[in-house]
Structure 1
Amino acid sequence: MTSGSADSGSAAPEAAAAADSPGTPTAGALQWQAPTLIRIDERTTIPSLLQARVRRSAARPLIARKQEFGEAWQTVTAQEFYDDVCSVAAGLIGKGLQPGARVAIMSRTRYEWTLLDFACWAAALVPVPIYETSSAEQIAYVLADSKARLVVTESITTAELVRAAAASLDRPEPEVLSLDTGALHAITEAGRGVTAEQVAVRTASLTTASTSTIVYTSGTTGSPKGTVLSHGNFTDLCSNAHLWMPEIAMGRDSRLLLFLPLAHVFARFLEVFQISGEGIIGHVPDTKNLLSDLASFRPSYLLVVPRVLEKIYNSADARAGNGGARRLFRWAARVAVDYSRAQDTPAGPSRALRAQRAVADRLVYRRIRALVGDNADWIISGGAPLSPRLAHFYRGLGIPVLEGYGLTETVGPISVNTPRLTKIGTVGPPLPPMAVRISADGEIMLKGPSVFQGYHDDPAATAAAFTDDGWFRTGDLGSLDRDGYVTITGRAKDVIVTAGGKNVSPAPLEDSLRGHPLISQVVVVGEQRPFVSALITLDAEMLPSWLRAHGLGPMTVSEAASDPQVLAALDRAVQRANTHVSRAESIRKIRVLKVDFTEANGLLTPSLKVRRGVALERFAADIDDLYGGPTGVQS
């Protein structure tokens, strides 16, 4: 069955049956095989998914473009988008780019990014994303490793940065164009002599084995690796995901507002996923005006990282102020959590709890739902674990969080909770037809059609990433329950071994602490030390409202880092986090840093993960001070 029949009646019964039985356990539940809902043929490429959408609904809206001024959105039909794609593809061919040539794209999220992506695929080219925040050194690395022939940037400034980076390379410099100075016009002009048939021949030359993109990992340590992904990696996952969870993107009322960087593979997957469904996709370049963008676009589902959900909760709590308003909000929050937890019991919520929730909805929940556009049915969360309490809070107020897990090497999602298959505290069952295995030392291993082809020009790294029997080593630690739901416990390389020989996974402690309104980032430390400690940074956005709520005057982050009442609040947060681990794993000391972690200072990746190795090196003196000296010196 091809992707063109992904919504056909013959596939639906299989998908419905799978909803009651997520997969097949083997090897004592240490391995789980998700069902295969649809088998794509070798011609099911990314362009074919767009062509199928045009055949189904050429005149219906596919993309919404925000107008330059105001809050209005202009729709682009499937046919109009496809025509734009073909015009730009002709221009890329007209520029002499041969099949398989690399085209780098360095821009914030916008319509033109998606247009260039699909145009490259239609012309049998390989788009290579570069993060808009990348340094000259990082840009030079990607250009050199990918051998990009053309680079399209967003602005004149980034174009000049790319030209400077390219000039340092010992190879012919790529052509560099910028969107803000007519890049698309220059490309389409180059295609005036290219026929539609020539574009069609290029598109038809692709198979599922053809390379679709090379995505460079942001890298929390070492140089980035070029992850080679095929068309089949995307299309097999999209086709099966639509059947597995049709509620998300197969309805005509499905609306996705994309604000994550399209240089990130999960945003790219959702781009293809939404366009190959039946709904509409919109783009905004960042989160500066996110609340107003959500209000005007009214998405039916959101993709966020847990930090966004933590900030929404903390902001709502802070806005409640003191006295009765705060007590009302916190009562409503408890009701939401209790109501959600009761949904997982055989009896369900009691009559009294349902009545309390109705009152809380009228007084509190409606205002919070309005913050995300008042149309969202689900929130998809990934990138880091979400605290179960927050997950219950959002489900209780009426927007279930579908927590998932994925990697660049798997085109994003590996497993995800669905509207019908959800266990809060897990990252859901594997997406069809993925297989998950837990090794003897607790590492999550994968097999399936969305697993990448290998690392670009790096056979040694590719070989090291797989077991002898072909399972991909994720480097993540986790478990499988008897129903096939995956739980993540941390990164294998991040595990701390204390001087007493205790293995400590820092992730549970770090994730628990990051839910506190004062805390921005946490790095748990203790390698070869007598006990576990933590470096903590303060959230500059939340600090003023927290200080007001606690009757304290204004302070800078630097002042707050040594204030007794702030430190006492952080100590209480640490004590709460410690209740979830053994004494040997508990945090005994903290150091509050006077600087936060950002992309600009090199302590966060573009996907907002802490560069742990960089942090440990940069704050080595602070760590030593916690223990009274370097490793081996007892405090």
Structure 2
Amino acid sequence: MPTTIDASFIDSLPANVAVQFLERVAKSPQREAFRYPVGEDWKSITWKQAGDDVSRIAAGLLSLGVQAEQRVGIASGTRYEWILADLGIMCAGAATTTVYPSTNEDDTAYILSDSECQVVFAEDDAQIAKLTSRKAELPALRKVITFDGTADGDWVIGLADLEKLGDAYLAEHPGVIEDTAKSIRPDQLATLIYTSGTTGRPKGVRLRHSSWVYEGEAIRAQDILSEDDVEFRWLPMAHSFGKVLMSTQMACGFAAAIDGRVDKIIDNLAIVKPTFMGAAPRIFEKAHGRIMTMQAAEGGAKEKIFNQAFKVGLQVEQLKRDGKSVPLLLSVQHTLFDRLVFSKIRDRFGGRVRFFISGAAALNRDIAEWFNAAGIVILEGYGLTESSAGSFVNLPRDYRFGTVGPVFPASDVKLGEGDEVMIKGPGVMDGYHNLPEETAKTLTEDGWLKTGDKGALDADGYLRITGRIKELFKTSGGKYIAPPAIEAKFKAICPYASQFMVFGNERNYVVALITLDPDALPGWAAENGVSGDYAAIVKSDACRQMVAGYVDELNKNLNRWETIKKWELLDHDLTVESGELTPSMKVKRNVVEDNYKKLIDDFYS
């Protein structure tokens, strides 16, 4: 039976994020709060030091005349200054509007205009240039504050300049930050996060202070994390997943190492040695693929030992889940393989990971079980920007593969029409900014959030996501297809896969467009005598034969009507810059389908 979690914490939540942060500073002043890279070293910051930095920024914003609930934007990658800016905005009573650094100029201007941002924190000259070129479209924008960019001393000032303004304001108004924090209502707007959206303009999701406070305190109540943990945080802070981790950090008091450079994740894990990390499934897919291809390249006895280790590991873990004892001989083998194989894999992630948390998209069960066999637990969770990111999560002491866990304490779940997952609770948004009709489509009159995802609940309330309602399609033969399930299976089988996109709505069979991982492909090409750039490699007969083998393997495990009858390799991987991925790395399926309409139609000629 699942652990019952006491929901009484809901009666004693901090009033708002500002109070939550200030209470953490007072409770843990000398404990480490953050660390971040400076050159080749890492600088450590205590909660007291972070509190002082945030107070100066908040006071600086107040000196600029920022009022309660007015929007202040952040256009930056994940870094320590992002955290300071966000907390400073909320401690000043204003509301953060997040912008991915990869967001194009048009959407950046739209987001900042629609939200009526008064001030924007811009990471560098590239972000400043987006604002400068669209200045005429941003009449509300009075000041730009840059972390690393070029200040002009007028419209654009540096972060140090803002802090100086803050110091002067604090000298004139002692106690202003504490007083402002106390004045913020729980239902006051804290954040506007614009959904990256796979179609149409981004929609601004309005999230209250009480929503973020609830998210962090709900995780603390589940006893998942403590102040002794160490998080490595690379996730985009413009995404709700990153934001909920920050709320959780304030609730639990652990330290977080901050570095948003994706290409540095593996190097940083070895240095930071975290006890947990949040990530999207693509990170685990790439890590799994990389380890598998490296081992295959070793060949010989090492590859045989590796494969046997996982055969034993998966068998042992299955016996444990079934409540059965592990035979002595199998246990001895497992201990040996743990030393020879699994410990080395764990060391690649720093050697101290208690668990990873996977969110933002569906995690393939086979990959989760593979990591689990190596002693690395991945706890899958689920939520939407519209529910402040976290609504469900598996627990370290009771996790079930293929599910996203039980609903958060003090929240509710039910299945609506067509088994649509519906959520109600303190994390649910107020609505979409300036879009009352869209809000009415998504929120029922009695407060239920319609997620658009199809699901199933087991007897203990563990949720399994079975598909995205809008992505489900029906073949001309009347069979329903759930593309994400098939796509995830291929990525688990093929270590070189990047994207696998399934199509076939109202057609008589299913087809796929495939891209390969640009980081993994050169290694494969060198081992197989193929030369050239990405486009040349994927055109080669050897590459097509390799992919064909994996498609055949996939088809063996699909229902007849789901099997991939035809497929094609694209001459490039999908990117945010090409407009085929959202900034949170989700495929814009409609864009891809439009871009390759002729190719898809030709499959059926």
Give the TM-score taking structure 1 as reference length. Answer: 0.90
Residues 480 and 93 of structure 1, relative CA distance in 2, 3 Å threshold: same
Report whether the alignment pairs 1:180 with 2:148.
yes
Equivalent pair of 1:259/1:285 in contact (CA under 8 Å)? yes
Choose from 19, 35, 39 the match for 1:69: 39
CA-to-aligned-CA distance 1:309-357 (integer Å, 9 cap, x gap): 1221221222222222222222222222222222201214332222222
CA-to-aligned-CA distance 1:388-428 (integer Å, 9 cap, x gap): 22212211211111011111011111111111121011111
Identify the residue that residue 517 of structure 1 maps to in structure 2.
495
Identify the residue that residue 13 of structure 1 maps to in structure 2.
none
Counterpart amino acid of 2:262?
T
CA-to-aligned-CA distance 1:415-468 (integer Å, 9 cap, x gap): 111111210111111111221111231211111110111001111110010234
Identify the residue that residue 278 of structure 1 maps to in structure 2.
253
Provide the C-alpha distance between the structure 2 equivalents of 1:44 and 1:19, rounded to a whole number of angstroms: 30
Residues 426 and 135 of structure 1, relative CA distance in 2, 3 Å threshold: same
Identify the residue that residue 98 of structure 2 maps to in structure 1.
129
Equivalent pair of 1:108/1:285 in contact (CA under 8 Å)? yes
Identify the residue that residue 513 of structure 2 maps to in structure 1.
535
**Counterparts in 2 of 1:342-381, with a 5 A limit?**
342-381=319-358
Counterpart amino acid of 1:176?
V
Choose from 125, 128, 142 the match for 2:111: 142
Identify the residue that residue 8 of structure 1 maps to in structure 2.
none
Equivalent pair of 2:530/2:540 in contact (CA under 8 Å)? no
Residues 62 and 43 of structure 1, relative CA distance in 2, 3 Å threshold: closer
SS at match of 1:289: helix
Provide the C-alpha distance between the structure 2 equivalents of 1:272 and 1:616, rounded to a whole number of angstroms: 38
Counterpart amino acid of 2:33?
L
Moved more, 363-372 or 343-352: 343-352
Identify the residue that residue 363 of structure 2 maps to in structure 1.
386
Choose from 8, 11, 15 the match for 1:44: 15
Identify the residue that residue 27 of structure 1 maps to in structure 2.
none
Choose from 533, 536, 539 the match for 1:559: 536
Identify the residue that residue 291 of structure 1 maps to in structure 2.
266
Q: With a CA cutoff of 8 Å and minimum separation of 6, indicate the structure with the bigger relative contact order.
A: 1
Identify the residue that residue 193 of structure 1 maps to in structure 2.
169
Equivalent pair of 2:13/2:217 in contact (CA under 8 Å)? no
SS at match of 1:578: helix
Provide the C-alpha distance between the structure 1 equivalents of 2:352 and 2:301, rounded to a whole number of angstroms: 29
**Per-residue deviation, 1:289:** 1.9
**Per-residue deviation, 1:490:** 1.5
Provide the C-alpha distance between the structure 2 equivalents of 1:306 and 1:188, rounded to a whole number of angstroms: 38
Counterpart amino acid of 1:534?
A
Give the TM-score taking structure 2 as reference length. Answer: 0.94
Identify the residue that residue 505 of structure 1 maps to in structure 2.
482
**Per-residue deviation, 1:548:** 4.9
Choose from 60, 63, 85 the match for 1:94: 63
Equivalent pair of 2:82/2:237 in contact (CA under 8 Å)? yes
Choose from 278, 290, 301 the match for 1:315: 290
Identify the residue that residue 419 of structure 2 maps to in structure 1.
442
Provide the C-alpha distance between the structure 1 equivalents of 2:500 and 2:419, rounded to a whole number of angstroms: 24
Identify the residue that residue 152 of structure 2 maps to in structure 1.
none
Identify the residue that residue 211 of structure 2 maps to in structure 1.
233
Counterpart amino acid of 1:592?
L
Provide the C-alpha distance between the structure 2 equivalents of 1:451 and 1:174, rounded to a whole number of angstroms: 31
Counterpart amino acid of 2:479?
K
Report whether the alignment pairs 1:397 with 2:374.
yes
Report whether the alignment pairs 1:601 with 2:578.
yes
SS at match of 1:180: coil
Provide the C-alpha distance between the structure 2 equivalents of 1:299 and 1:229, rounded to a whole number of angstroms: 29
Query: How many residues end up aligned between the 2 structures?
Result: 592
Equivalent pair of 2:14/2:213 in contact (CA under 8 Å)? no
Counterpart amino acid of 1:265?
S
SS at match of 1:437: strand
Provide the C-alpha distance between the structure 2 equivalents of 1:348 and 1:223, rounded to a whole number of angstroms: 55
CA-to-aligned-CA distance 1:31-58 (integer Å, 9 cap, x gap): xxxx624124575211222222223221
CA-to-aligned-CA distance 1:539-588 (integer Å, 9 cap, x gap): 22212333455x44335432343433433332332233334442122221
**Per-residue deviation, 1:201:** 2.2
Identify the residue that residue 261 of structure 1 maps to in structure 2.
236
Choose from 275, 278, 289 the match for 1:303: 278
Counterpart amino acid of 1:175?
K
Equivalent pair of 2:360/2:382 in contact (CA under 8 Å)? yes
Equivalent pair of 2:13/2:214 in contact (CA under 8 Å)? no
Provide the C-alpha distance between the structure 1 equivalents of 2:56 and 2:544, rounded to a whole number of angstroms: 60
Identify the residue that residue 464 of structure 1 maps to in structure 2.
441
Identify the residue that residue 48 of structure 2 maps to in structure 1.
79
Provide the C-alpha distance between the structure 2 equivalents of 1:609 and 1:410, rounded to a whole number of angstroms: 18
Identify the residue that residue 154 of structure 2 maps to in structure 1.
none
